[in-house]
């Protein structure tokens, strides 16, 4: 993926002076989002729906899917979001990757990673990488609903949280969110969550999780 030219930065953080620049592809998908649904669909129009986030605390993503029962191809995907430009552009591109050329299978769609979306977009600022995850999480929820609706309970993908720091009850999902928000070292994560400070036995697993999520989202 070609690095973005920060000399042409379009956004500058007034506090940190960090420069952000968006590719032409990102801008196109922000101003002209594909597969965006402006009003809720009619009952039965789609096979399943998934939603992540909360209007009370930040970004929200809602996604509807239609699946061909014979081929298991995702033939249609529509979405709505209460989120930033990066979330809109990422989800627009994600929807194309799922449905282009007649749609890909559910199993193939589940293998698409947030970094795959970023490659198609031409990159995102580091502080906005977490925005590409909203679509992925909403799609997984929609697929799980589809599996339940079709009686395929053995195919439901679970992602239960595991406690890493028993003293503070901090989970692996908390670590994931911290890395997505820019904490990429042990010191960064501890500063943000205080994890491992009172439970040193948690440090080895904490370091392993940081490496795992760095690889997963940043490559």
CATH number of 163-218: 1.10.10.1100
Q: Quick one: pLDDT at residue 29?
A: 95
Which pair of structure tokens corresponds to residue 120? 């198609």
Question: Using CA atoms, how far apart are residues 77 and 141, in angstroms rounded to an integer?
Answer: 13
Q: Got the DSSP string for the chain?
A: -PPP-GGG-SEE-TTT--EE---HHHHHHHHS-SSB-SSPPPTTSSSEEEEEE-TTTS-EEEEEEEE-TTT-BEEEEEEEEES-HHHHHHHHHHHHHHHGGG--BHHHHHT--HHHHHHHHT---GGGTTHHHHHHHHHHHHHHHHHHHTT-GGGPPP----EEETTTTEEHHHHHHHHHTT--SHHHHHHHH-TTTS-GGGHHHHHHHHHHHHHHHH-
Q: Quick one: pLDDT at residue 75?
A: 97
Assessment of whether the complete model's pTM goes beyond 0.75: no
- Which residues are catalytic, by number? 57, 131
Q: What is the pLDDT of residues 134-189, one digit of tens each?
A: 899 899 989 988 998 998 988 887 666 788 888 777 888 888 878 887 888 999 99
Q: Quick one: pLDDT at residue 163?
A: 83
163-218: same fold as 6-154? no
Residues of the chain with pLDDT under 70: 1-20, 54-58, 158-160
Question: Using CA atoms, how far apart are residues 41 and 37, in angstroms rounded to an integer?
Answer: 8
Q: What is the pLDDT of residues 127-137, one digit of tens each?
A: 777 777 889 98
Nearest-5° angle of CA 55, CA 57, CA 76? 45
Interhelix angle for 186-193 vs 203-218, to 10°? 110
Q: Quick one: pLDDT at residue 6?
A: 45
Q: Quick one: pLDDT at residue 207?
A: 94
Per-domain boundaries in the chain: 6-154, 163-218
Q: What topology does CATH give the domain 6-154? A: Sufe protein. Chain: A (3.90.1010)
């Amino acid at each position: 993926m070609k690095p973005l030219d920060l000399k042409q930065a379009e956004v500058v953080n007034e506090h940190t002076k960090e420069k952000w620049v968006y590719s032409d592809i990102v801008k196109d998908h922000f101003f002209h989002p594909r597969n965006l649904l402006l009003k809720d669909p009619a009952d039965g129009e789609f096979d399943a729906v998934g939603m992540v986030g909360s209007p009370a605390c930040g970004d929200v993503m809602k996604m509807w899917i239609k699946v061909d029962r014979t081929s298991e191809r995702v033939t249609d995907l529509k979405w709505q979001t209460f989120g930033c430009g990066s979330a809109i552009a990422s989800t627009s591109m994600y929807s194309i990757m799922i449905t282009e050329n007649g749609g890909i299978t559910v199993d193939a769609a589940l293998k698409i990673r947030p970094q795959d979306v970023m490659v198609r977009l031409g990159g995102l600022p580091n502080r906005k990488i977490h925005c590409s995850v909203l679509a992925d999480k909403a799609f997984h929820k929609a697929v799980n609903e589809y599996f339940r609706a079709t009686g395929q309970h053995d195919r439901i993908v679970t992602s239960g949280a595991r406690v890493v720091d028993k003293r503070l009850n901090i989970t692996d999902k908390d670590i994931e969110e911290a890395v997505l928000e820019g904490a990429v070292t042990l010191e960064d994560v501890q500063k943000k969550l205080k994890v491992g400070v009172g439970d040193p036995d948690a440090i080895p697993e904490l370091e392993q999780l940081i490496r795992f999520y760095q690889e997963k989202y940043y490559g």
